[in-house]
Structure 1
Amino acid sequence: MPNKPAAPLKNVRVPDDLWNSAKAVAKSEGRSLSEVIRQMLAMYVEKGLDPGGKAGL
């Protein structure tokens, strides 16, 4: 099927200010926010980062 997305669409709830800030940073790096989210999720899975921890937040 032409133009089929590489992955199915997912829905998440994110505060607008966080979403907009992250989108701006991604854009300044020449990346999409989707790319950033995929990479962060992969790091979480591979390295077992604790989302409840305070590191970096």
Structure 2
Amino acid sequence: MPAEEPLPGGFIAEVVRVGDTVRRTPPANAGFVAALLRHLDRAGVGLAPPYLGTDVGRAT
């Protein structure tokens, strides 16, 4: 796995780049947001970003 590269900003959570992805520490409502994005995907709404998953190492 590529090393984490800290990114500037991140006023709310730590933000890092790992390979081709940008990751942040999930907020308290991460479960709700994941469920909402999955629902929108199943409903065929093309305007929402895909839910890519949770990095276990960053889960709170």
TM superposition score normalised by structure 1: 0.28
Higher relative contact order (CA 8 A, sep 6+): 2
Larger relative helix fraction: 1
